[in-house]
Amino acid sequence: MPGLREEVAPGGFPWESVAWLLRMAVAVVFLYASADKIIHPQAFAGIVRDYRLLPEALVNLTALWLPWFELVLGLCLYTGLWSRAAVLLSFGLLAAFFAAIVFNYARGLNVACGCFTSSPEEAAPMLWYMGRDALLLCLPLAAWEAQNRADSRDGALLP
């Protein structure tokens, strides 16, 4: 019917579905990452302190708001609310985490990541954290690109 969007052409790639799956993967990462840190803010403050990147006055504040920001970001990604902004912010946050880990590795510090737990006993080699975070950093980039492709295809189909 004229004026209605056409369905995906046979053989067309389902970019919208790929974008959704990637967005859900990023949402799960942030929702899971926030849980233990919200429950144990004092332990997470110790990990933030161990990074030696912030002045002491900002350590507790960061340990309190960062997990809640991760939770809200995860919920936005999961629900699709402000999904473009949430994908962009998730990339920025993951990039900041990656930079902090690389910076500490360059300084010779081996600190607990604090990515998914507030327990300092869960420390792994910094190279492991850098590799994992580099892969996680690819998720929002891929979600952004898939959404762009879905949007450009949809725009081309409109009358």
Instruction: Please tell me the predicted confidence (pLDDT) of residue 155.
Output: 53
Of the pLDDT bands very low, low, confident and very high (cuts 50, 70, 90), residue 126 is: confident
Of the pLDDT bands very low, low, confident and very high (cuts 50, 70, 90), residue 122 is: low
Residue keyed to tokens 């790929």? 18
Side chain identity at 154, as an amino acid letter?
D
Instruction: Please tell me the predicted confidence (pLDDT) of residue 67.
Output: 95
The whole-angstrom separation of Cα 86 and Cα 140 is 9
Q: Are 126 and 104 in contact, with CB atoms under 8 Å apart? A: yes
Instruction: Please tell me the predicted confidence (pLDDT) of residue 12.
Output: 74
The whole-angstrom separation of Cα 36 and Cα 38 is 5
pLDDT digits (tens, 9 = 90+) for 74-97: 999 999 899 899 999 999 999 999
Instruction: Please tell me the predicted confidence (pLDDT) of residue 120.
Output: 67
Range 49-55 average pLDDT: 91
Q: Does the reported pTM lie above 0.75?
A: yes
Instruction: Give the list of residues 6+ apart from residue 121 with CB closer than 8 angstroms, or none.
Output: 112
The whole-angstrom separation of Cα 5 and Cα 113 is 46
64 exposure class (CB count in 10 Å sphere: 0-12, 13-18, 19+): middle
The whole-angstrom separation of Cα 74 and Cα 90 is 9
The whole-angstrom separation of Cα 33 and Cα 122 is 14
Predicted confidence (pLDDT) at residue 157 exceeds the cutoff of 50 = no
